[in-house]
Amino acid sequence: MDKSISDLMEAKRQIDSTLHKLRETIKTFEAKENPDRYKSQITLAKRRIKAFEISVDLIEREIRTLGADN
């Protein structure tokens, strides 16, 4: 799959937006009166954050690689 730098930057922008929303979701659940009730949702959001952070790192690496080729 051929990826342009602009495609990768847009993908990163979308992931960053999703990361922001997930972090806000965690804050909301943790601020609830009984946050233990939302433990599974918090755990899932944290796992998704970790996966997206790995994705962002890989995208940034690819952007640097493509930029160095030019």
| Residue 45 neighbours by CB distance under 10 Å | 19
pLDDT higher than threshold 90 for residue 68? no
Indicate the range of 41-45, 50-54, 60-64, 65-69 predicted with least confidence.
65-69
- pLDDT value for 1: 64
**% of the chain exceeding 70 in pLDDT:** 97
H or E element: which one contains 53?
helix 39-69
What's the average model confidence in pLDDT over 31-53?
A: 97
